[in-house]
Structure 1
Amino acid sequence: MTELEKLAAGDWYDFRDPAVAQRKARAAKLCQEFNAIPATEPDRQTAKIREIFGSTGQRVSVQATFNCDYGKNIHVGEDFLSNYNLTILDIAPVNIGAHVMVGPNVDIYTVNHPLTVPGRRGYLAKAQPVTIGHDVWIGGKVTINPGVTIGNNVVIASGAVVTHDVPDNVLIGGVPAKVIRPLAEK
């Protein structure tokens, strides 16, 4: 298997591989172009973010700065809004539902590294997808870790570190994040 095939299969892969590095370099270039567009030109920003992302709904708004590892693995639904300094390490797919708001300084990670010294010295990584449901509000400085699925109608309190799946209709917070209380469905 090639390193990209291993990556896509969710296996350990060498992140120094030229094909993997090429995808990251392309994303870095596009993010740099997006981040250079003045905030007074929202139509240009939207056009560039649509070039970066794999798919978007009709209404999408992303504020600079934005950074990602690939871009084409990011899929957002209708009415997506992100505040400043969003980082999505989308080695694996990141699927975000409709009517999602993302606060400033949020990090979404799909990639992890080994806990062993030989694995880290071998420049290994493993990717797991992240899924975020509809009608989710992600507070500022939240971190979402690889492999997490977040349900619908969820509010994630500022500063939370999400390490496990989250059910529908809850407020979560803390490090690691846990359910604080249920939320009304509508």
Structure 2
Amino acid sequence: MPDRRATPASPIGRPAARQETLDRISEGSLYTETEASFQAPERRADLIFAYNQTPPDQSSRREALLRRIFASVGERPLLNTPFSAAFGSRTYIGDDFYGNANISFVDDVDIRIGDGVMIAPNVTLTTTGHPIHPSLREDFRRFSLPIVLEDRVWIGANAVILPGVRIGYGSVVGAGAVVSRDIPPMVVAVGTPARVLRPITEADLEERGGLRH
């Protein structure tokens, strides 16, 4: 007969240990893969795989899957395949979202995307980074800080949005930019690291597009 006596839970599995890890995550402090392993059921890997395999003409099924993958999804979402997400369940998407192919949502903590946001191909939104010193990177030790894209933001192709960044209303992030600091509303930001190139003004109503100086 198997021994059915209760065995002590591992420290990682105890509610107090879990809460301590959650507190450190919310503070932006370091934590390890093992410490955060209890969060695994919140990952939506199977649903993401199903979405990426669903034909484009099955729009109703695709939207239904998006609503199961993400924490919330507004009206009229459009997300091209493929895409990836660390969890999916930590990303919040507003109305009229357009995401092109190969977006990576590294949502170990919240990514919040407003209304009317457009994201070009091959963009990475990563809430997570790792320590510089290699001795601190054992067990995939990391820190996580939330990302916010306010309404009407446009992120250009191959851009990277790093942990803790907030991009203000209506701003444009140029192709290939690496955004490591907050971007104010209604500006164009370009470069590595990204810097504000110029404001968006009424003159832009006359422009076809591009990053005029």
Query: The TM-score by the shorter chain falls in which range?
Result: over 0.9
Counterpart residue type for residue 148 of structure 1: V
Code of the aligned partner of 1:184: T
> Is the 2:124–2:159 Cα contact (8 Å) retained in structure 1?
yes
Say whether the 8 Å CA contact 2:114–2:152 is kept in structure 1: yes
Provide the residue aligned with 1:172 in structure 2.
189
The one-letter code of the counterpart of 1:142 is A
Q: Return the alpha-carbon distance in structure 2 between the equivalents of residues 117 and 108 of structure 1.
A: 23
Partner secondary structure for residue 44 of structure 2:
helix
Decide which of 12, 19, 32 is 1:14's aligned counterpart. Answer: 32
Mapping of residues 54-73 of structure 1, within 5 Å: 54-73=71-90
Are the aligned partners of 1:170 and 1:180 in contact in 2 as well (CA < 8 Å)? yes
Asked whether the 8 Å contact 2:26–2:145 carries over to 1, the reply is no
Matched residue SS, 2:142? strand
Q: In structure 2, how many angstroms separate the alpha carbons of the residues matched to 1:53 and 1:70?
A: 8
Q: Distance in 1 between matches of 2:40 and 2:136?
A: 18
Match of 1:163 in 2: 180
Please give the secondary structure, in 2, of the residue aligned with 1:7.
helix
CA–CA distance in structure 1, aligned partners of residues 143 and 129 of structure 2: 5
| Residue of structure 2 equivalent to 1:134 | 151
Count, aligned residues: 184
Q: Quick one: distance in 1 between partners of 2:131 and 2:122?
A: 26
CA distance in structure 2 between the partners assigned to 1:145 and 1:104 by the alignment: 17
Q: Which has the higher strand share?
A: 1
Q: Using the TM superposition, name which of 49-58 and 14-23 deviates more.
A: 14-23
Unaligned segments of structure 2, at least 5 residues = 1-16, 206-213
| CA displacement 1:140-181 (0-9 Å, x = unmatched) | 111000000100010111111111100001011111111111
For residue 104 of structure 2, the aligned residue among 87, 96, 112 is 87
CA–CA separation in structure 2 for the residues paired with 1:177 and 1:183? 16
Q: 2:120 — aligned with what? A: 103
Moved beyond 6 Å, runs of 4+: none
Aligned to 1:118, the other structure's residue is in SS state: helix
> What secondary structure is seen at the aligned counterpart in 2 of 1:13?
coil
Are 2:33 and 2:139, in contact at CA under 8 Å, matched by a contact in 1?
no
Query: Which range is displaced more, 175-184 or 12-21?
Result: 12-21
Q: 1:84 is paired with a residue of what secondary structure?
A: coil
Whichever of the two has the greater Rg, that structure is: 2
Unaligned runs of 5+ in 1: none
User: 3-state DSSP class of the match of 1:98?
Assistant: coil
- Deviation at 1:90? 0.3
Deviations 1:71-91 (A, max 9, x none): 111111111110111110000
Alpha-carbon distance between aligned partners in 1 of 2:30 and 2:155, rounded to the nearest angstrom: 29
RCO higher in 1 or 2 (8 Å CA, sep ≥ 6)?
Answer: 1
Distance 1:9 1:29 in 2: 30
Q: CA deviation at 1:10?
A: 2.8
Contact 1:59 1:80 in 2 (8 A): yes
Match of 2:59 in 1: 42
In the superposition, the TM-score normalised over structure 2's length comes to: 0.81
Provide the residue aligned with 2:12 in structure 1.
Answer: none
